[in-house]
Each structure stands twice: as structure tokens, then as C-alpha cells.
């Protein structure tokens, strides 16, 4: 589609958009995919991208098949298969999920899309809910895949819809890059109708779709040529816009959400807002640079744009003025432009004369993971942890997790620790969803290589950390319909593990004894701590317990659980504070009662508490 035709279609489409909705960025992305005629969508939940598939699942299932996949690579492979079959497909993930899916993306760049193929990747500047702050734009260049970067929810819808056209026009996967701020912003978005292009039919060209070396050598030059053609498209598309300004001492080049900060912080300067950072819109940038005295690049995280612009021999400033880490802000932009001598430095803000209360994150009241990590601390094991709510066990007061690298790494890490000859028992902890995501291959490896480790599978029957999404072990699919359920214990036995136990973590004494036996076992042992999450899919609330103050000796045994329902009281025992339990938040799990040495914590219903 030519630039002129695209502009005309966009204008006509805008006139047809009679409906307005208060969408978040993620909801707008889902709407844009639906409007574009997406037929298959798959994802693994991960903040900040989770709501994209949850929203797509709300549309008519005859319009779009929306499903949770076991991990991001499976999600992308599913979308690739749908593209091979000639229909439009989408995969969604957070930035670290792209690491998991990268193998497929790299090969698909050579093969190219048949039906439109869009990969939505949501970065997390500021590390609000992730283990790192990587910049997906660098992946795009590595893979040779174009990226579109919407600035707000309205653009999130429009860019997603156009991404499918772009994918089919240039036979390429297209990455749509969001960020936490874009994903969770909410604004009025004008939406339009669904337009479903006819299926292109199965691709049927094995010289293209089978990436043996002979085919790959022939396909790689096409990727290089595609990059040049996409660069011209990036320069010509109306999605790249030039805002004229009155002060030509500098021109600002930016993309995505950073554009909004620029317009608020420096409205007088000309701005070139790029549709995306890769491929570089060389012609548009050259023309823009010729119209201003100096070029300043504003981008979140890595200097991807800045370095690319310098590589085409245009002097550009950027990270010498603005930080390379964290989210941008209007204040940071003003400080950077003041440093460049382009505006007055903002007046310093007087600090507030308050001391904020320390509020470290803790597991929920009654969380079934609490007892598991309390028991692990008691047996003195080296604990390799994983990604999930239970990662909070690394901090006070549980302090019973030694390592956490990424999704599914715990079991492999434990294998290495055991092979290195650790002087303590080695335990890997992993949640049920994470186990199915990427824990099964390393567990097979542990059996194959005869590792002396214990694997504690923390099965709370849901993907809790990202908001209670289903997975293959819950018996329900994305739309809530019944689905086959993985039997985790049977799976472990099927791969050759003989020592497998299923335990209720609320039975603290039995749990502790089971872990002692497991860590004494020679070879691989598996303990499955099975108890539903106390929040999802429904909030669990039983009869609360309370402290019989007369019997409390302020020993802190219950405080070591880190339960937010347990706090210090005003009473003292030998100079130490006694405890009290908030009946409104206590769910009656009885963990505190089981660890109390004086039996002074009792259910309220018994009438024993005074």
C-alpha cells in the first residue's frame, strides 16, 4: 500500500470512528488487532502485557481464537503457524518474554510473514515488575524486524491495525513496542469496525519456510533489501510526523511515549516523531536535521536512535543529557535541555519534610507459600528460586531464597549448585505456572544427570503474580471453559522421578518433615506444595484467629511468617512487644497458631481468646 493510499485510508477510517471508549493502552492494542481482522492470538501472561489477550478473549470466539500458551515461544510459534496458514495472527509478551521467543523470531525474520504477523512486546522502563530493563528496540535490529512505537492509546489502536498491513506488504513480522506507562494509561479512544481480509491460504513454499542452510543463505539478502525498503516506508508514512516549532536552535527526534514528554517539556522546539526506531527513517531524519541547528534525541532506555543517527553522519546528542535507565519524565527532559543550554534550569523542588513509612512487599495474609519457605529456612538448605509471588521470600522476614535469575532457571541453577559440591541440601523452588513454562526440561536434565536436588513445586493452582490467569494445570482456558488439566505428580513420575510427594503447606509439621526426608534422598526428589491462592480466582476467607494476650511471650515466631495481618501491639513482655492479629484481613489459615510455642493463638469462634 502506498503512503498516499495509507493516508487516505487513515482519514476515511477516522471519519468512520463513531464509537469512543475509555481504553487502556493494552485494551486499545487488542481493539486494533480485532479491527485488523486478527484470527489467532496467543500469549503467556506477564506484566505489563497481560491484558492484551484477556481483552481479545472478550471478543466473539468466532472472530478470534485467543489462548494462553505455556510460554512465549509457544505463543509466537502458534502465531507463526497461523500466519503460514494465511490468516492474521498476534503474539503478546513482556520484554523478557521475547528472550524466550527469540529463537523463533530470528528464523521468522528470514522466512517472512504470509498472513500478517504482529508481535506485541511491552517493555518495563523503571523495572516496575521485572527482573531487568532491557530495550526491545535492540532486539528488532538484531532480528531485522521493524518496530512501531505508539505514543498513546489512540495510536496503540491505529499502529496495531496498520502493523498487520505492513507485515503483509513487506512479508515481515512486525513488533509493536509498548511500555508499562502506555499499557496502563487510560484515555478516550475512537474505535472503528472490524475488517477481515480473506485468507491467503497455506503458504506452500518449502524453499522459504524450511530454514536449512541452503534456503537461509538465499533468504538473508532479502532481509537486507527489506530493511532498505522499510527505511523508506518509515520516512514516508504519515505515522512519522514533523511538528514545526518556533525555536530552531535544536530539533528533537523521538518516538513512542517519549513524544508526550517532549511536547509538554519543550513545546517551542521542532519535533520529528518517528513511527518506530528501526529501520531508521534516514530520509526523514536527514531532511529534519538540515532544518535545525542541532539534533537532540529523546528516548527511553538505550541510545538506539542516537547511535543510529550518528551512524549516518548526523551529529546527535542524547544520553549525555538524559538518563539511560528508568522512565523519562517532563522534569528530566527540562533538566537535560537546561544542561544543553536551551532553557532555564527548573527551580529546585523543596523536599517534603516527612519520613515515609517503610512498607516492604510481603506475601498475602494466608499465602500458602509462606509455610514452604519457613520450612526451607528451618532445614538450612541452599535455595534456588524462580519468578513468581514467592520471590518475595528472598527478603525479610522469610529470607529463605538465595538466587533468582529468570523464568525456569531455578532447577538448572540447583543442578549446577549440587554438581559444584554445595555443603548443604540444594532445593529449587518453582511455581506451577513457571514449572509448565520452562521447568520441565531442566527437571528432565536433573534426572538424566543424576543430580542430588530437591524440587519444591509451589502449586497454588493459578498464575497468581500476573493477576490470576489460568494455565494448563488449572483445568480452564483463557475464556474460562473447561480444559484438560496437567497432573504434575504424574508428569514428574513419567520422566523417571520415583520420590514424589504431594503436601498441603498449611500442615506445617508434616511439610517440614517431608522436606527433611526429601533432602535426605539421594537423587532427584519432588515435593508438590498444593494449596489454592488465597486471592485468585476467588478470595478465600475463613474464620479469623486472634491472640490471647495473656499467653503471648513476644517470641516473634509468628512475626517470622511475615503475615501482614500480624502486627505489634501496645503490650510488652520483658521489654518486647506482644502481637495482635487484624481480624478483618486474617483468613484463618492457622499458620501462626501452628508455630506459636505457647498456644495463645486461637480461632475467634472457639471463644478461647480474651
CATH number at residue 272: 3.40.50.920
- The distance from CA 568 to its chain's CA centroid, rounded to whole angstroms, is 36
Residues 507 and 578 in one domain: no
Long-range contacts of 480-485 (CB under 8 A, 24+ apart): none
What whole-number distance in Å separates Cα of residue 118 and Cα of residue 557?
Answer: 52
Q: Which residue has the cell 532491557?
A: 134
At residue 356, the pLDDT reads 78
Residue 17 belongs to domain with CATH number = 3.40.50.970
Compute, in degrees rounded to 10, the torsion defined by CA atoms 581, 582, 586, 588.
Answer: 40
Q: Is the same domain home to 499 and 565?
A: no
Q: What is the pLDDT of residue 352?
A: 83
Same domain, 104 and 55: yes
In a domain, 413, yes or no: yes
Q: For the chain, list residues with pLDDT below 50.
A: 1-3, 15, 606-610
354 lies in a domain? Answer: no
* pTM of the complete model: 0.92
Grid cell 527482573 is found at 131
d(CA 417, CA 428): 10
Residue 15 has a pLDDT of 45
Residues 269 and 383 in one domain: no
Residue 596 annotated as lining a ligand binding site: yes
Contacts of the segment 535-543: beta carbons below 8 A, 24+ positions apart = 535/364, 535/464, 535/468, 536/462, 536/464, 536/467, 536/468, 537/462, 537/468, 540/366, 540/587, 541/587, 541/588, 542/587, 542/588, 542/589, 543/588, 543/603, 543/604, 543/605
The residue out of 207, 233, 259 marking a domain boundary is 233
CA distance 466 to 43: 13
Q: C-alpha cell of 601?
A: 493463638
Residues 47 and 186 both lie in one domain:
yes
Is 555 annotated for ligand binding?
A: yes
135 and 283: one domain? Answer: no
91 three-state secondary structure? strand
What residue spans of 449-549 are helical by DSSP H? 488-494, 508-520
User: How many domains, the chain?
Assistant: 4
Please tell me whether 404 is known to bind a ligand.
Answer: no
Q: Are residues 203 and 252 in the same domain?
A: no
Q: What is the distance between the alpha carbons of residues 524 and 518, in angstroms, rounded to a whole number?
A: 9
Query: Is 349 among the domain residues?
Result: no
Residue where one domain finishes, among candidates 474, 507, 530: 530
Q: Give kind and range of the element (H or E) at residue 227.
A: helix 213-236
Three-state SS string over 417-449 comes to HHHCCCCCCEEEEEEHHHHHHHHHHHHHHHHHC
Cβ atoms of residues 420 and 403 within 8 Å? no
Rounded to the nearest 10 degrees, how much is the dihedral formed by the CA atoms of 311, 313, 314, 318?
30
Secondary structure of 300-326 in the HEC alphabet? CCCCHHHHHHHHCCCCEECCCCCCCCC
User: Looking at the structure, do residues 76 and 203 belong to the same domain, yes or no?
Assistant: yes
Check the annotation: does 533 bind a ligand: no
Let me know if residue 7 belongs to a domain: yes
Q: How far, in Å, CA of 434 to CA of 408, rounded?
A: 6
Residues 125 and 159 reside in one and the same domain: yes
How large is the C-alpha radius of gyration of the chain? 27
At residue 174's C-alpha, the angle toward residues 65 and 273, to 5°, is 125
Count Cβ neighbours within 10 Å for each residue of 51-64 and write b for 16 or more, e otherwise.
bbbbbbbebeeeeb
The DSSP element (H or E) to which 221 belongs, if any, is helix 213-236
SS3 250: coil
Is 367 assigned to a binding site?
Answer: no
Under DSSP, is residue 503 helix (H, G, I), strand (E, B) or coil?
strand
> 175 - beta bridge partners?
119, 147
> What is the grid cell recorded at 600?
495463645
Determine if residue 563 is labeled as part of a ligand binding site: yes
HSE on the CB side for 168, CA within 13 Å? 21
Clarify whether residues 65 and 96 are in a common domain.
Answer: yes
Q: Cell 526440561 maps to which residue?
A: 441
DSSP 604: G
Residue 216's Cβ-count burial label (10 Å; 0-12, 13-18, 19+) is middle
The verdict on residue 355 lying in a domain is no
Asked if residue 535 belongs to a domain, the reply is no
Contact between 448 and 419 under an 8 Å Cβ cutoff? The reply is no
Q: Answer yes or no: is 481 within a domain.
A: yes
> Which candidate, 538, 574, 529, 536, places its Cα nearest to that of 554?
574
140 annotated as ligand-binding? no
Nearest C-alpha neighbor of 167 from the set 154, 158, 157, 176 = 176
Residue tagged 505514543 (cell numbers): 151
User: Is the distance from CB of 539 to CB of 375 less than 8 angstroms?
Assistant: no
- Whether 57 is in a domain gets the answer yes
Q: What is the CATH number of the domain that holds 577?
A: 3.30.70.20
Q: Are residues 490 and 589 in the same domain?
A: no
**What are 456's strand-pairing partners?**
429, 527
Is 389 annotated for ligand binding?
A: no
Give yes or no: residues 449 and 559 share one domain. Answer: no
Half-sphere exposure of 285 (CA within 13 A, CB side): 31
- Spell out the SS3 assignment of 254-267: EECCHHHHHHHHCC
Express each pLDDT in 164-220 by its tens digit. 999 999 999 999 999 999 999 999 999 999 999 999 999 989 999 999 999 999 999
The parent domain of residue 516 ranges over: 369-530
Amino acid at each position: 500500500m502506498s503512503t498516499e493510499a495509507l493516508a487516505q485510508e487513515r482519514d476515511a477510517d477516522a471519519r468512520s470512528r463513531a464509537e469512543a471508549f475509555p481504553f487502556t493502552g493494552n485494551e486499545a492494542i487488542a481493539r486494533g488487532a480485532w479491527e485488523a481482522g486478527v484470527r489467532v492470538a496467543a500469549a503467556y501472561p506477564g506484566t505489563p502485557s497481560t491484558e492484551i489477550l484477556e481483552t481479545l478473549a472478550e471478543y466473539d470466539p468466532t472472530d478470534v481464537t485467543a489462548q494462553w500458551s505455556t510460554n512465549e515461544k509457544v505463543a509466537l510459534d502458534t502465531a507463526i503457524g497461523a500466519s503460514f496458514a494465511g490468516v492474521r495472527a498476534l503474539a503478546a509478551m513482556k520484554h523478557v518474554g521475547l528472550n524466550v521467543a527469540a529463537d523463533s523470531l530470528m528464523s521468522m525474520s528470514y522466512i517472512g510473514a504470509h498472513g500478517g504477523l504482529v508481535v506485541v512486546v511491552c517493555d518495563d522502563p523503571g523495572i516496575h515488575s521485572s527482573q531487568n530493563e532491557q530495550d526491545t528496540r535492540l532486539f528488532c535490529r538484531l532480528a531485522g524486524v521493524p518496530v512501531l512505537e505508539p505514543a498513546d492509546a489512540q495510536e496503540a489502536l491505529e499502529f496495531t491495525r496498520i502493523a498487520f498491513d505492513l507485515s503483509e506488504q513487506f512479508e515481515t513480522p512486525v513488533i509493536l513496542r509498548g511500555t508499562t506507562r502506555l499499557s496502563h494509561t487510560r484515555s478516550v479512544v475512537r474505535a472503528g469496525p472490524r475488517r477481515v481480509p480473506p485468507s491467503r491460504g497455506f503458504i506452500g513454499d518449502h524453499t522459504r519456510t524450511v530454514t536449512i542452510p541452503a534456503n537461509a543463505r538465499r533468504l538473508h539478502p532479502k532481509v537486507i533489501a527489506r530493511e532498505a525498503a522499510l527505511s523508506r516506508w518509515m520516512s514516508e508514512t504519515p505515522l512519522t510526523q514533523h511538528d514545526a516549532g518556533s525555536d530552531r536552535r535544536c530539533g528533537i527526534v523521538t518516538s513512542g511515549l517519549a513524544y508526550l514528554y517532549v511536547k509538554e517539556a519543550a513545546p517551542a522546539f521542532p519535533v520529528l516523531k518517528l513511527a518506530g526506531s528501526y529501520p531508521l527513517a534516514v530520509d526523514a531524519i536527514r531532511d529534519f536535521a538540515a532544518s535545525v541547528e542541532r539534533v537532540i534525541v529523546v528516548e527511553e532506555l538505550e541510545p538506539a536512535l542516537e547511535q543510529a543517527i550518528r551512524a549516518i553522519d548526523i551529529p546527535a546528542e542524547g544520553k549525555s543529557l538524559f538518563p539511560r535507565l528508568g522512565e523519562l519524565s517532563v522534569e528530566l527532559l527540562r533538566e537535560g535541555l537546561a544542561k544543553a543550554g536551551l532553557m532555564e534550569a527548573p527551580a529546585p523542588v523543596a523536599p517534603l519534610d516527612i519520613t515515609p513509612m517503610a512498607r516492604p512487599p510481603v506475601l498475602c495474609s494466608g499465602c500458602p507459600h509462606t509455610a514452604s519457605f519457613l520450612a526451607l529456612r528451618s532445614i538450612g538448605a541452599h535455595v534456588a528460586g524462580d519468578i513468581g509471588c514467592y520471590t518475595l521470600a528472598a527478603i525479610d522476614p522469610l529470607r529463605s531464597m538465595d538466587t533468582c535469575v529468570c523464568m525456569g532457571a531455578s532447577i538448572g541453577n540447583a543442578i549446577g549448585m549440587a554438581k559444584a559440591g554445595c555443603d548443604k541440601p540444594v532445593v529449587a523452588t518453582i511455581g506451577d505456572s513457571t514449572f509448565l513454562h520452562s521447568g520441565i526440561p531442566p527437571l528432565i536434565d536433573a534426572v538424566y544427570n543424576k543430580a542430588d536436588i530437591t524440587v519444591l513445586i509451589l502449586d497454588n493452582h493459578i498464575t497468581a503474580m500476573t493477576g490470576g490467569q489460568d494455565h494448563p494445570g488449572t483445568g480452564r482456558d483463557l475464556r474460562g471453559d473447561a480444559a484438560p488439566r496437567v497432573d504434575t505428580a504424574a508428569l514428574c513420575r513419567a520422566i523417571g522421578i520415583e520420590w514424589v510427594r504431594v503436601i498441603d503447606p498449611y500442615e506445617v509439621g508434616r511439610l517440614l518433615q517431608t522436606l527433611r526426608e526429601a533432602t535426605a534422598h539421594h537423587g532427584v526428589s519432588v515435593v508438590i506444595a498444593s494449596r489454592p491462592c488465597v486471592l485468585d480466582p476467588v478470595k478465600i476467607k475463613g474464620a479469623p484467629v486472634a491472640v490471647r494476650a495473656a499467653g503471648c511471650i513476644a517470641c516473634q515466631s509468628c512475626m517470622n511468617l511475615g503475615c501482614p495481618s500480624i502486627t505489634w501491639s501496645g503490650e510488652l513482655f520483658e521489654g518486647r512487644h506482644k502481637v495482635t492479629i487484624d481480624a478483618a484481613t486474617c483468613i484463618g489459615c492457622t499458620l501462626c497458631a501452628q508455630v506459636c510455642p505457647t498456644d495463645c493463638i486461637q480461632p475467634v469462634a472457639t471463644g478461647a481468646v480474651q
